Structure 1
Amino acid sequence: MATLAQWIEGARPRTLPAAISPILVGAGAAYQTGEFVWGYAALAALVALALQVGVNYANDYSDGVRGTDEVRVGPVRLVGQRLAAPRSVKVAAFTAFAIAGVLGLTLVTLSRLWVMIPVGAVAILAAWYYTGGSRPYGYLGLGEVFVFVFFGLVATLGTMATMTSLTAAGWWGAIGVGAIASAILVANNLRDIPTDSVTGKRTLAVRLGDRRTRIFYVALIGVAFVMTALAALTSPFALLALLAAPLVARPARAVLSGATGRDLIPALVGTGVLELAWSALLAVGLALGHHS
Structure 2
Amino acid sequence: METKSSSSGAKMQSNRREVLWRLFRPHTLTASFIPVLIGSVLAWQIRNGLNWGLVAAMLIASILIQAATNMFNEYYDFIRGLDTAESVGIAGAITRDGIKAGTVLSLALVCLLIASLLGIYICSSSSWWLALIGLGCMAVGYLYTGGPYPIAYTPFGELLAGLFMGSGIILIAYFVQTGSINWDVFLISVPNLILIGAIMMSNNIRDREGDQLNGRHTLAILLGHRRAVQFMAGMFLVANLWVVVLTLAGVLPVWALLVLLSIPNALQALNGFRNKKFPAEMMPGMKSVAQTNTLFGILLTIGLLIEVGVSQL
TM-score (norm 1): 0.93
Alignment correspondent of 2:279: 261
Alignment correspondent of 1:104: 119
8 Å contact 1:32–1:288 — kept in the other structure? no
Q: Of residues 273, 278, 281 in structure 1, which corresponds to 2:291?
A: 273
Larger Rg: 1 or 2? 2
Q: Of residues 149, 164, 185 in structure 2, which corresponds to 1:150?
A: 164
Report the alpha carbon displacement of residue 169 of structure 1 after superposing the two structures with TM. 4.4
Q: Secondary structure at the match of 1:280?
A: helix
8 Å contact 2:74–2:91 — kept in the other structure? no
Q: Of residues 107, 122, 125 in structure 2, which corresponds to 1:92?
A: 107
Aligned Cα RMSD in Å?
Answer: 1.9
Relative to structure 1, the CA distance from residue 269 to residue 289 in structure 2 (aligned partners, 3 Å threshold; closer, same or farther) is same
For 1:72-100, what per-residue CA distance to the aligned partner results, in whole angstroms no more than 9, with x for missing partners? Answer: 21113223447222111110111111111
Deviates more, 1:3-12 or 1:71-80: 71-80
8 Å contact 1:254–1:264 — kept in the other structure? yes
* Structure 1 portions without partners, runs of 5+: none
The amino acid of 2:144's aligned partner reads: Y
Task: Give the Cα separation in 2 of the matches to 1:219 and 1:28.
Answer: 28
Alignment correspondent of 1:42: 56
8 Å contact 2:19–2:97 — kept in the other structure? no
Alignment correspondent of 1:205: 220
Report the alpha carbon displacement of residue 141 of structure 1 after superposing the two structures with TM. 2.4
- Is 1:248 the counterpart of 2:266? The answer is yes
Alignment of 1:69-80 (within 5 A): 69-70=83-84, 71-80=86-95
Report the alpha carbon displacement of residue 259 of structure 1 after superposing the two structures with TM. 5.3
Q: Secondary structure at the match of 2:177?
A: coil
Task: Give the Cα separation in 2 of the matches to 1:62 and 1:141.
Answer: 18
Task: Give the Cα separation in 2 of the matches to 1:182 and 1:13.
Answer: 17
Alignment of 1:1-292 (within 5 A): 3-35=16-48, 36-70=50-84, 71-81=86-96, 83-110=98-125, 112-164=126-178, 165-232=180-247, 233-234=250-251, 235-258=253-276, 260-290=278-308, 291-292=310-311
* Structure 2 portions without partners, runs of 5+: 1-11
Task: Give the Cα separation in 2 of the matches to 1:58 and 1:73.
Answer: 18
The amino acid of 2:283's aligned partner reads: I
8 Å contact 2:208–2:220 — kept in the other structure? yes
The amino acid of 1:19's aligned partner reads: S
Task: Give the Cα separation in 2 of the matches to 1:64 and 1:82.
Answer: 13
Q: Secondary structure at the match of 1:264?
A: helix
Task: Give the Cα separation in 1 of the matches to 2:277 and 2:30.
Answer: 23
Task: Give the Cα separation in 2 of the matches to 1:224 and 1:281.
Answer: 13
For 1:28-84, what per-residue CA distance to the aligned partner results, in whole angstroms no more than 9, with x for missing partners? Answer: 211222353222222111111101110000110111111111242111322344722
Relative to structure 1, the CA distance from residue 239 to residue 168 in structure 2 (aligned partners, 3 Å threshold; closer, same or farther) is farther
Task: Give the Cα separation in 1 of the matches to 2:121 and 2:187.
Answer: 27
Report the alpha carbon displacement of residue 107 of structure 1 after superposing the two structures with TM. 1.3
Task: Give the Cα separation in 2 of the matches to 1:201 and 1:82.
Answer: 26
Count of paired positions: 291
Task: Give the Cα separation in 2 of the matches to 1:236 and 1:128.
Answer: 39
Relative to structure 1, the CA distance from residue 82 to residue 284 in structure 2 (aligned partners, 3 Å threshold; closer, same or farther) is closer
Task: Give the Cα separation in 1 of the matches to 2:164 and 2:30.
Answer: 14
Report the alpha carbon displacement of residue 197 of structure 1 after superposing the two structures with TM. 1.3
Relative to structure 1, the CA distance from residue 146 to residue 179 in structure 2 (aligned partners, 3 Å threshold; closer, same or farther) is same
Task: Give the Cα separation in 2 of the matches to 1:160 and 1:189.
Answer: 31
Task: Give the Cα separation in 2 of the matches to 1:114 and 1:226.
Answer: 36
Report the alpha carbon displacement of residue 240 of structure 1 after superposing the two structures with TM. 1.8
Percent of aligned positions with the same letter in both sequences?
A: 26
Task: Give the Cα separation in 1 of the matches to 2:210 and 2:275.
Answer: 20
TM-score (norm 2): 0.87
Relative to structure 1, the CA distance from residue 230 to residue 39 in structure 2 (aligned partners, 3 Å threshold; closer, same or farther) is farther
The amino acid of 2:132's aligned partner reads: P
8 Å contact 1:183–1:271 — kept in the other structure? yes
8 Å contact 1:190–1:213 — kept in the other structure? yes
Q: Secondary structure at the match of 1:181?
A: helix
